[in-house]
Structure 1
């Protein structure tokens, strides 16, 4: 059977931090996309490969692919992507209609560690079934939560799989499913397996590869560099804590966890007065033994007057990464009578994860009152305490 590989490389990769889109960043002197492409171009069972890119990235694409060795598979002209991943995949599939492969593998450009054995399993799965996706067992316990963050159910993790790419399909049914979804006005499928399910195709799961990681956050690139170097560096875990407090003053909102929260008072502060981000910043700096927020952002300096506190936390996290370290977890507790954290918790967690370049499950937020005791109990202000767990390269004197 003829087999085509479709590499999705049209995203912006904003969670990976500032700089080039992640698929064009360098890993050990080679662009991520080039590493990913090489795995398919050098595989004897792949007949042709096509890449879907962002229209603005043609020069980046040309530079990334200029040095590739085209040994056993044809690299077709690249195709412009669409507004969503689903649109981009459909554009790539439409471009393949001229050659009409029998099987197509859809793979993320940001998974450069794909191995030949996984490609073989994907092709075998597509030959056996119309639609199949690689999956790895889930080791963490998963909770399904409701609107108030209460646990609704706990699925049996023995039946759960974390899905990867390349996802493997017979070409005609997948193209038909994409066309039907587009005609129905559906454009938000982030996974071709889910789109195939919607179209009524039975989707099977074959064995994935734990090493087939997707590069998403800045820490992922650091880990990838170490992996390619074969580093055996040992790390020491550090725990830092932070605390911040601000009195209430005139205003109609407060900033908490990077989110503007409506309130009948404002916070008196030199910056935006975000006690959660300030406490987290001090916690990270504490783990580094590198002073506190006032050391790095003196209140006497007018440039920080009214400053957005996301800059402070991002700075502290970048200091960890500059030292070759990894931020593992951020945890904060808000102490106040009002405003309530619950309605904004998820938005705050997402914003903190975005600022720090972490996964959502690496950010914890809690809240408590002080039972009407002290200045927070009298609603004179609010406070936050935080902890940060980081790993730093172990050094010896």
Structure 2
């Protein structure tokens, strides 16, 4: 059945603490919203994925979605969750699906199994939610500071998203309940319209990021999932040529000579680019940016390194560390080392502490010793999802 997904991302997430709205905060260096959307893209049975956002967050959303294929243009949400979901449902009306999944942007760990069971259960029952049995005893509040016997935990469940519905059913239910703002999820909207809602097994890993502590837990979980640690190396060399400066590590450095090359001949960024490409088996810099292509003549090499970093992230990876060694007699690298680290970190969007730049000479031996050019060695370490 044609199935679309609405990802609700219009809130501010105030309980998550200070900073960006929680759906745009980095998790493993990637915005939470991007993680969540990836959980549906390419899944069997999913046709479209539609984010519903606050218009105030349009730029944050654009950054989170950059380069992500298969996502519909975001639509503006409302002042309540119900209003936001209805806005998403109405946006799908011109080319309606048969089923729709409605999911919280702050649940980035949705599994293949959850998506499949949501679709299968809704296809049969019309309305379905993932549910978890409770493990803690529930108590009622009898008076401030005192508790009394509460409901039988075996008779209640906690529910998650994605909640799944026949599209026409949930659209009509939301339209009928448009004036109500006290319904906490879409199952409640369906129930208020007289529909029974089926349950299927939820997933404890599919927790919602609500507090600062939840982000700590999520980071630990993400690192555990990125169990494939890979290291690769890169090497580049360019000869000196006419000029009054050269480019190293993304910096323009005054010098008696320039570096000869088709692009800006930044040996440091070229070596780092090859190292990153090597971690994911994606060829080398010449494969992605052929020197025979005139569009790269004089090009700034920061775009080469940024491209390699984007490919690592597209593979679900996280850059753990970058290390570069510059081999030359001149210019002196020491005065520029920290600025290079900062520039490289900015290009690939990682912490400066994860970047190392070193320098050495070849003791006046070889072409670098004769001051004929500069060489650079690089190593990159990344964490990737384990693939058998």
TM-score, L = length of structure 2: 0.56
Matched, 1:155 2:144: no
Distance in 2 of aligned mates of 1:147 and 1:130:
41
User: Counterpart in 1 of 2:126?
Assistant: 130
SS of 2:110 mapped into structure 1: coil
1:222-301 maps to which residues of 2 (within 5 A)?
222-230=216-224
Distance in 2 of aligned mates of 1:174 and 1:114:
21
Distance in 2 of aligned mates of 1:221 and 1:151:
30
Matched, 1:212 2:206: yes
Question: Please, which of 139, 144, 149 is the counterpart of residue 143 of structure 1?
Answer: 139
**How far does residue 176 in structure 1 lie from its aligned partner after superposition?**
0.5
Contact 1:84/1:188, CA 8 A, preserved across alignment: no
Gaps in structure 2 of 5+ consecutive residues:
226-388
User: Counterpart in 1 of 2:342?
Assistant: none
Cα 1:148/1:225, change in 2 over 3 Å: closer
SS of 1:135 mapped into structure 2: strand
User: Counterpart in 2 of 1:35?
Assistant: 35
Q: Deviations over 1:61-101 (max 9, x none)?
A: 11001032x3xxx4221110100001000000000101111
Distance in 2 of aligned mates of 1:225 and 1:67:
23
1:320-335 maps to which residues of 2 (within 5 A)?
none
User: Counterpart in 2 of 1:20?
Assistant: 20
Does 29-38 or 146-155 show the bigger shift?
146-155
Distance in 1 of aligned mates of 2:145 and 2:172:
39
User: Counterpart in 2 of 1:97?
Assistant: 93
**How far does residue 29 in structure 1 lie from its aligned partner after superposition?**
1.2
Distance in 1 of aligned mates of 2:182 and 2:53:
18
Distance in 2 of aligned mates of 1:149 and 1:125:
42
SS of 2:36 mapped into structure 1: helix
SS of 1:133 mapped into structure 2: strand
SS of 1:211 mapped into structure 2: coil
Matched, 1:3 2:3: yes
Larger-gyration structure (1/2): 2
Distance in 2 of aligned mates of 1:42 and 1:159:
36
Question: Please, which of 165, 180, 195 is the counterpart of residue 186 of structure 1?
Answer: 180
Question: Please, which of 103, 109, 118 is the counterpart of residue 105 of structure 2?
Answer: 109
User: Counterpart in 1 of 2:51?
Assistant: 51
Distance in 1 of aligned mates of 2:149 and 2:200:
26
**How far does residue 151 in structure 1 lie from its aligned partner after superposition?**
4.6
Structural RMSD (CA): 1.7
Gaps in structure 1 of 5+ consecutive residues:
232-397
**How far does residue 150 in structure 1 lie from its aligned partner after superposition?**
5.4
SS of 2:177 mapped into structure 1: helix
Distance in 2 of aligned mates of 1:170 and 1:21:
31
Q: Any runs of at least 4 consecutive aligned residues in structure 1 with deviations exceeding 2 A, and if so which?
A: 144-154
Aligned residues between the structures? 226
TM-score, L = length of structure 1: 0.55
